[in-house]
Amino acid sequence: MARSRLTPEREAELYAAVLDLLREVGYDALTMDAIAARTRSSKATLYRQWGSKPELVAHAMRHNKPIKLVDVDTGSLRGDFHAVMAHTDDCQMEKDSALMRGLFHAVHDSPDLLQALRELLIEPELNGLAEILQRAVDRGEVAADNPALKYVTHMLVGAIVARQLIEDRSPDRDFLTSYFDAVILPALGV
């Protein structure tokens, strides 16, 4: 795979620069030229490694995630969620929320970006979440036929979007922990 020619350090540096630029100018105004200049790469390299701007941005967003859901396995559903939260930083969450809002604004005009975010960011998260929930079912914490199992993502997305839309605030650890205990665990019968 072409991407393996970069060292992990160089890749991390490049992704960080992409996100910095994205925060500065927004997705629409972000150009491969600007990324090439900022990262002292050639545009040819960028296109060879990532194919397109949406894919590069989605890879940068995925790299930026502080914790992979799939790495979490504490032995209980509440424990798994608290482990995710323990690795999350409120300031970082606020910055990431602003980035995500900008990107979900941009997908309105860029189906390619939506597709790249679905493939590289949303689906891996959904799979990680599905594994956490499957382990809870296997342990007998959650009934296999609990009808809320297929709506956990909807509940989580709602927490994040409604917090911003209605309360005009970014989600933070206290809020998400309270929501998880008040809504998600009871709906799952835990």
For binding to a copy of itself (CB under 8 A), which residues are involved?
Answer: 101, 104-105, 108, 122, 126, 146-148, 150-151, 153-159, 161-163, 165-166, 178-179, 181-183, 186-187, 189
**Minimal CA–CA distance to 19: which of 102, 84, 121?**
102
Task: CB nearer to a copy of itself: give 61 or 156.
Answer: 156
> Angle at the Cα of 110 (from 70 to 49), degrees rounded to 5?
60
Alpha-carbon distances of 100 from 26, 108, 117, 185, rounded to whole Å: 11, 13, 10, 26
Least distance (Å) from a copy of itself to the CB of residue 129? 11
8 or 147: whose CB is closer to a copy of itself? Answer: 147
Cα Rg of the chain (Å, integer) = 18
Q: How far is the CB of 158 from a copy of itself (least distance, A)?
A: 2
Smaller CB separation from a copy of itself, 66 or 189? 189
Please give the Cα distance from 43 to 36 (Å, whole number).
6
CB of 147 to a copy of itself, least distance (A): 4
Report the residue number, 9 or 168, with the smaller CB distance to a copy of itself: 168
Answer for the pair 185, 77: CB distance below 8 angstroms, yes or no. yes
Q: State in angstroms the smallest separation of the CB of 41 from a copy of itself.
A: 30
Work out how close the CB of 163 gets to a copy of itself at its nearest, in angstroms, rounded to a whole number: 7
Helices 53-64, 8-25: inter-axial angle, 10-degree rounding? 110
Given the complex with a copy of itself, which of 17 and 69 has the nearer CB atom?
69
